[in-house]
Amino acid sequence: MIDGVLLINKPKNKTSRDVVNQISKIYHTKKVGHTGTLDPLATGVLILCLGKYTKLVQELTSEEKEYVAVMKLGCLTDTLDVTGTVLKEKKCVVSKEKIYSVFQNFPKEYLQTVPIYSAVKKKKKKLYEYARENKEVELPKRKVQIKSLEILNIEENRITFKTTVSKGTYIRSLIRDLASEMGEYGVMQELTRTKQGNFLLENCYDLENITENTPLKKLESIFSYPRIQVTEEMKKKIQNGNFLNLKTDAERVLLMDQENAVAIYQKYDSCYKMVFKVI
């Protein structure tokens, strides 16, 4: 069984599921999952978990993400990006001073309306299914955090910016909301995820270069928790998923067998419980 984490630079015009399916064929395993969808239009960091590591998907999904995006002003589409059907258009008249003011004063936390073209479910049905059936539905809202927001370039009606956001933030919706603050329409023209947690774009593999021999990341290279060497007795307890008494005050630890991590344990009252194991 192939077990580990693979960092992909997702190419444009492929869905995240397309990438998962391709990696599944390359590594000859059906146990492949990703830790955060990227739109077909988007590129950048896509973290895949293979084999036993698919149980870590939720762990890694919770990490904050960094993006570089291009906003096109003066247009609104049903998908909130340039691939959608145009709903509204108008000549853009916003000044650079207004743009910088909106970016500088945009709230660090707010309730963001989820786009209808998304896989979020409402009454056990995905929102994009309502959209495709031309059915009206009240869109859910989520509290999101905008941890940083920096303008990189303004050229005519296009704004390139970098942002770090919390889990569940839609950049398409953020662009709509930024444009609205300017009194304009706005859609996403380009998007690159440059970072997720500690994983950087420059450390990702291009999809076309991946073979079944491309090495996968293991626990010891993913997490920087304090490390504790295990005894043979401890290994048996880990295999059985038992609680452990450990001489540490750390919230989480990596349990090591020589140079290889075998489990993550988390503090629980006066002892430690297992979060994840590979033995």
Residue numbers annotated as active site: 39
| Residue 274 to residues 33, 208, 219, 237, Cα–Cα distance (Å) | 21, 37, 14, 10
Tokens 């999101």 locate to 144
Alpha-carbon distance of 236 to 225, in angstroms, equals: 22
N-term to C-term CA, the chain: 12
On the 0-12 / 13-18 / 19+ scale of CB atoms within 10 A, 106 is middle
Alpha-carbon distance of 89 to 186, in angstroms, equals: 9
| Coil, helix or strand at residue 105 | helix
Alpha-carbon distance of 279 to 272, in angstroms, equals: 17
What is the helix (H) or strand (E) element at residue 50, kind and residue range?
A: strand 43-50
